[in-house]
Structure 1
């Protein structure tokens, strides 16, 4: 660097010491970054030009080239470059002077020395030179950064276990019927979901786990089922999360195979019977074993198992013909029902259910509600179906603020208790704040009064001893907003004598005569497979009716939401990029504003879609659907994976929407909130009924009663 210093001094004899130091610092800082003399000129050229008015731009460029050769001799003669010290940023002379103003005598400052005004450098140009260098360094840093494929984070758990329980577990003496998981943490990547949490599941009670989307409810169930959170080893756990694998096994047999004890006894019984019948052995031990097997089969009521399995399958929508079909013939939704049937049949000590109503129609939901009310062991269920939560659980676990709070009673009781609890906490906080303010007023008034010194000290100590209360944390209210629409003159939508069948298959719909307006709030209900989704596709023109006519207003613009749209989102991009792919050409602010109107804001909008919870993905799908500003919404099971607060917000958004809506849903509360008209799909027909949802529920309960009495 000495050579550069001498060269600068000789080229610019009138240069100020501090300016020379600045130029040398810039050169030293960029020694390894400068690729050519042009970059050196960009960094210091304007400063050097200001110092020497007699030099032309070419002179300055030549000087910059000479300086580069001195800095990087290896480029000319292959010699090893001298070791350079890299600074974090250019030296800022203003900051230097401010920091060292107390040591003026030791510093030669350009602000303190007398100097020729003609040699002063324009402050703006100096700042511009610094900014250019900073920008170049940042650009180079970005260029050298290796881009990596977004990696999916995984959940981790840690737990503190008591020595007493660990010893009992090691000796095989832990026979407790209750499950107690204390002082545990769960994180998903860098995000902490639960910290220092406790959970107690008493045997025979039914727990509903509730909380906002993305807080870790499903993750908690997976941690328990996967053994990351330890529970006594003698407990059998069953987590209904994945569908049954399709093969040649009959649906009924698939359920029966869950009873491994019964299956093992029957297998051994067949083996022994085959040996005895073949006459190859007349061993009395085999006869005694066979007798013992018959006794055990009788004790577990093995003969009643097929009937029990059939009742469960029937309740979940499998008719006798379907029960005798191979599992590979069923769709994913029906295989999930099979997984639920197997869980209900096997009756584990702890049954974990995650959104069990998502795959069911209203008839199956009503049956499941009734069945689980008599569940004999411990149940932990994540659900956002408010009616289900008011019918099934005996207790509610509320996940919020990285902790779990337990409440006795169903969801309705939980809401009342929590509301009262928050009111009391707020009252207590406000009372303490008022008391603190009053005491502080006294302290401030008499702080310097000698006669009141003892009282003031007493008040100060009293304030220090008061427990520190925090204001009540209010959960951010979820808001959803559908786009405003322009009114259309009727007729809007009309089905006249519409029938439909797939190729030469059975008739799905026959002679349907229905209509909708821009004020319509129609809910379509019916059993799975009754033709609800087919009807929606005919309305939107995705399918053409086999006969009849579907009249649609020429300016009607459909917005279609279905669960498969959520499943087919690009998981490797963030939500902003997802909207950018579907609707290019808009600003980032527009995409973020659209996502924000569906509750996907802040950092959430920049997370990869794969890392979002099911409910958050649904909101992203809503945002994408509404980017085209539809005036008629067709929503097929929109509440799947949405939390209760978001379902409430969806209901309010539907009510305020100025266009028409046709909704397929099994969420009783949402249907009651928004629907003015109910269409029942079944037996090849679609008809509108008077009496709304109450009438439909009465019809379903009658059908269930008839089927159970058969």
Structure 2
């Protein structure tokens, strides 16, 4: 369905990938993975025709409908949510809107009647079952959006992104290109999207940093690494095993050749001056010339070394919320909520967007006061807080190591080492914090927490902007942390990695406090894992 021929992409003197040849087939769902900056989004933009490649071409089979997840969330401000989704099928949208205008005419001329007939034919071609309104409302409801006639300008930015996702899914395109479709989706909405994409009859290429999503959806993996794009059969976990096996085989082959080279060089050095052995030495020299020892290609992937230590051991009294109540306008968030964090608890807070997860984090950390009730913090607690808006909080012209230097952390060498563990090279550390990307700012904040060494961490969606390798490392760091963690996340793999207690905020003050893993919680509800 989609063919990639001899594709090469350069930016100035930087080579992203070269001589890429792929055939992306019908009914295959490809997960596009790679380190941040490796060229995933660039490749997807080349596939969709948004940008041109340095060389090579993309061939999409004639007559196929192509859907691309929009990135401009403000492009439809004057549209209702329903109309913005309908716009995903531009031909149907134009026909529906023209019909509405013509039916408003004061008189029906023959020309108008003829045109209405033409528009009915177009509508029937694009929507044979006349169910477009029902389908749009069903998609929006599944994404947690129920005010279908609200203007796009009236909804939160995160909801605008959901509408753009609904817009690209609505017309059921033959070829789907999706860049981070799970952003701003809660766990239930992600599960719905997984089911939708698994039913997709066509070709799908999707970028995601959600490992569970990639495992559930993908039949193939496209790995952007080593200046190439390699195709693997299977999901993310299948790729992980295959890629590590290939790397190990390459390393063993190289070690074997290096050992052979060393033995040949020793023989030549020993016998080249010996007349009786001269012929053998010459033969070995020719063997040595033919020996091809390829360099081991350097991967663009880097695994950060995230390690959270504590300054002091945590006591038996951690955090206790007593009869907490909170409302915003007429919306009830909490009512007489009681919660006691126990020693050893690693809590995942889950729930739909807007149910109060961030509000709860702010109440726990003292950033927000409850309307009623009180928060008791134990005497031994040293709190570390990762705010959801961390990207907006890290700004200014200070260099990275200057930004992290404070009363608790004065040792520049230690700060630089910590930044190095979070994949900031010496040159990267000279950047100003305000110029960093979202993912880089998140890694700076994680560096700061590692340096501060709290014994209780409250983390509000820390995995946003992080790549797969960093998310996996973060989950392991939470699991190994000697203190306690309270973490908001929609990432199943991250939650599964560390959580031994689930706090499910269901809305309207209803909260489920489950002791056990997320997998066990889902099993208790009769849900698939």
CA distance in 2, matches of 1:597, 1:374: 41
Q: For residue 328 of structure 1, what is the aligned residue in structure 2?
A: 153
5 Å matches for 1:165-180?
A: 177-180=1-4
TM-score scaled by structure 1?
0.67
Q: Does 2:33 match 1:210?
A: yes
5 Å matches for 1:168-567?
A: 177-187=1-11, 191-225=14-48, 226-229=50-53, 231-232=58-59, 236=66, 238-245=68-75, 247-270=77-100, 278-279=107-108, 281-282=109-110, 287-301=113-127, 303-319=130-146, 322-348=147-173, 350-471=175-296, 473=298, 476-502=302-328, 504-567=329-392
CA distance in 2, matches of 1:242, 1:295: 32
Name whichever of 338-347 and 601-610 sits farther off: 601-610
In the TM superposition, residue 210 of structure 1 has moved relative to its aligned partner by: 1.4
- Residue by residue over 1:521-547, the C-alpha shift from the partner in whole angstroms, topping out at 9 and shown as x without a partner, is 111111111111111111111222222
- Residue by residue over 1:102-126, the C-alpha shift from the partner in whole angstroms, topping out at 9 and shown as x without a partner, is xxxxxxxxxxxxxxxxxxxxxxxxx
- Residue by residue over 1:197-230, the C-alpha shift from the partner in whole angstroms, topping out at 9 and shown as x without a partner, is 4554334422111122333323433455522225
CA distance in 1, matches of 2:377, 2:467: 34
- Structure of greater Rg: 1
Q: For residue 56 of structure 1, what is the aligned residue in structure 2?
A: none
Q: Does 2:523 match 1:693?
A: no
CA distance in 1, matches of 2:399, 2:247: 36
CA distance in 2, matches of 1:699, 1:619: 35
Distance 1:587 1:673, change over 3 A: closer
Structure 1 unmatched ranges of 5 or more: 1-176, 704-710
In the TM superposition, residue 386 of structure 1 has moved relative to its aligned partner by: 1.0
CA distance in 1, matches of 2:18, 2:401: 31
Q: Secondary structure at the match of 1:618?
A: helix
From 506, 517, 527, the equivalent of 1:682 is 506
Q: Secondary structure at the match of 1:357?
A: coil
Distance 1:571 1:301, change over 3 A: farther
Distance 1:216 1:379, change over 3 A: same
Q: If each structure's helix is expressed as a fraction of its own residues, which one has the higher value?
A: 1
Checking the alignment, whether the CA contact within 8 Å between 1:493 and 1:551 is kept in structure 2 is: yes
Q: If each structure's strand is expressed as a fraction of its own residues, which one has the higher value?
A: 2
From 647, 661, 672, the equivalent of 2:485 is 661
Question: When the two structures are aligned, how many residues end up with a matched partner?
Answer: 518
Checking the alignment, whether the CA contact within 8 Å between 2:315 and 2:380 is kept in structure 1 is: no
CA distance in 1, matches of 2:434, 2:367: 29
5 Å matches for 1:579-658?
A: 579-580=404-405, 586=410, 588-609=412-433, 612-658=436-482
CA distance in 1, matches of 2:373, 2:291: 77
CA distance in 2, matches of 1:433, 1:367: 52
CA distance in 2, matches of 1:567, 1:653: 25
Larger RCO, structures 1/2 (Cα 8 Å, 6+ apart): 2
CA distance in 2, matches of 1:518, 1:603: 41
Distance 1:297 1:606, change over 3 A: same
Name whichever of 537-546 and 473-482 sits farther off: 473-482
CA distance in 1, matches of 2:124, 2:525: 36
TM-score scaled by structure 2?
0.88
- Residue by residue over 1:23-57, the C-alpha shift from the partner in whole angstroms, topping out at 9 and shown as x without a partner, is xxxxxxxxxxxxxxxxxxxxxxxxxxxxxxxxxxx
